[in-house]
A = this chain, B = another copy of it.
Amino acid sequence: MSRSENGAAVPRRAPLNRERVLRAAVALADDIGIESLSMRKLAQELGVAPMALYKHVANKEELLDGMVSVIVAEVDPPLPGPDWKNAVRHRILSARQALLRHSWAPRVIESRTQAPPVVLDYMNSLIGMFLAGGLSADLTHHVMHALGSRMWGFTQEVFPTPQPPADPGMRAAMFRQAAERFPHIVAIATVGAHDDASSVGQGCDDQSEFEFALDVLLDGFERLHNEGWRSGVPGNRAAG
């Protein structure tokens, strides 16, 4: 259909379609950040009048829905095999990789009020992995809630660690002040660090933090499953 250059000079560009709009939106958000993404800028990027976009998406919310779908579609299908725990683990880490390519994605995902179908497909498939592993529907229900956003491969790092000022004197002063008011934060932030003042929050590997938490959860789920957990049974709370 679209030979990129036909014999004559090409006065009309190929017509837009929904897919091209969505992909351009993803690329533009990668470039300029999701908070700067506007219908006008996206239109400009596509060489088109702003209102032209509305022939392909109903409004900006639907555009964002579509962007989420594009990304979620990149997540790998589940590994086959009997080990549900490892299969789930790998799938979630694969979802994480997809999201890491688009740092704005978590915020957009969280802002959706209706899950796009592709998103439900993913959740449905993940649930299927637990059920295939033998977990009861009941336990799986709780498990999915417990995973929360972690099933997408991200946790909201509720407050990003502020980066210290460039000036060394100023930095030392702020460090001293912080150590006085927030001694415990400073204590755990500088674990294993050689240079206290400059490495606050540095020695922190997002990937291993994520895996640590994921494994605590998965191990907990497995334990409950093996112990024959049933809903409403008293004494479940203290699993030890």
- Chain B residues with Cβ below 8 Å from A145 are 155, 157, 204, 209, 212-213
**Chain B hits for A238, CB < 8 A:** 215, 219
**Leading 6 A-B pairs by shortest Cβ distance:** A146-B213, A115-B159, A216-B220, A127-B184, A148-B155, A145-B209
Decide yes or no: A155 and B159 within 8 Å by CB, A124-B184, A192-B138, A217-B217 being known contacts. no
The verdict on A189 contacting chain B, using a C-beta distance below 8 Å, is yes
Stretch at the interface among A10-18, A25-33, A105-113: A105-113
Q: Which residues of B sit under 8 angstroms from A213, Cβ to Cβ?
A: 142, 145-146, 148, 217
Query: Nearest chain B CB to A217's CB is how many angstroms away?
Result: 6
A19 at the interface (CB under 8 A from B): no
Question: Which A118-141 residues sit within 8 Å CB-CB of chain B?
Answer: 119-121, 123-125, 127-128, 131, 137-138, 140-141
Given A117-B181, A138-B192, A145-B157; 11 other pairs, CB 8 A cutoff: A115-B158, A121-B182, A123-B185, A124-B181, A125-B184, A131-B188, A144-B188, A151-B158, A156-B156, A216-B220, A219-B240
Give the residues in chain B near A131, CB-CB below 8 Å: 184, 187-188
Residues of B within 8 A of A84 (CB): none
Residue of B nearest to A183 (CB): B124
Chain A interface (Cβ < 8 Å from any Cβ of B):
107, 109-115, 117, 119-121, 123-125, 127-128, 131, 137-138, 140-142, 144-146, 148-149, 151-152, 155-160, 162, 181-185, 187-189, 191-192, 204, 209, 211-213, 215-217, 219-224, 231, 237-240
Which single member of B123, B124, B216 contacts A146 (CB below 8 Å)?
B216
B189 and A141 form a contact (CB under 8 A): yes
Complex: how many Å from CA A143 to CA B217? 12
Pair B148/A185 contact, Cβ less than 8 Å: no
B188 touches A140 (CB 8 A): yes
Partner of A216, one of B137, B162, B184, B221: B221
Most buried by B among A111, A123, A146: A146
